[in-house]
Amino acid sequence: MHAARNLRLCTKDCVCLFICPTGATNTENGQIDFEKCLDGCRLCVDACSSGAIYLVSSTYPKPQPKEEGVVKAIFDLARSKAEQEDVARSISEASDDAALRQICSVFEQSSRIIGEDLWRESGYIIAQSEATRTLLKTMIKEHGNLEGFPLEEVEELLSRLS
């Protein structure tokens, strides 16, 4: 674990400059020098009154493979989030009530974010992966003739990934 600083939160109290045993916090660009930072020291994190300094992991575990049933469940949930997003958008567009439109807009955005997280979790956000190419081919096969489906864009994306 190494320290990092969010410059937007930093209030320039600079206690970190005096407490850091290696001088890793004293840099010209305001960022913490990972080369000098002691692994897991966290003295600057505890001393920072503005909460601008936090720890970042030096290593991350490899993602675990997901069983087919888990991936299917993630797909089903992501599909339901896409449907909920569409319903919220439709209600919002049809309503004259400003409060209802605002609630629908928030629900639409929330559904999209959750859906994107689900696709990412299932491994389909990595654009260069074979899983993404398979997904795009499946989308073309299953939805390519549906009205409103962006067939040309999906085919273009697929050709760029191949």
- Please tell me the distance from the alpha carbon of residue 143 to that of residue 148, in angstroms, as a whole number: 10
Cα 105 versus chain centre, distance: 20
pLDDT band at 44, cuts 50/70/90? Answer: very high
| Selected residue with higher pLDDT from 119 and 113 | 113
With a CB cutoff of 8 Å and minimum separation 6, the contacts of 23 are: 33, 36
Q: Are 63 and 122 in contact (CB under 8 A)?
A: no
**Identity of the highest mean pLDDT range in 36-50, 91-105, 113-127, 139-153:** 91-105
Mean pLDDT, the chain, integer: 85
Whether the model pTM is above 0.85: no
Q: Are 141 and 123 in contact (CB under 8 A)?
A: no
Summarised one tens digit per residue, pLDDT across range 87-112 is 999 999 999 999 999 999 999 999 98
> pLDDT exceeding 70 applies to what percent of the chain?
93
Summarised one tens digit per residue, pLDDT across range 48-95 is 988 899 998 877 777 667 788 888 888 888 889 989 999 999 999 999
pLDDT band at 129, cuts 50/70/90? Answer: low
**Residue 157 Cα distances to 16, 120, 137, 154, angstroms:** 47, 17, 11, 5
Looking up tokens 């305001």, which residue turns up? 30
Average pLDDT score over residue span 132-139: 83
Report H helices in 9-150.
Answer: 15-19, 43-47, 68-94, 98-122, 130-143
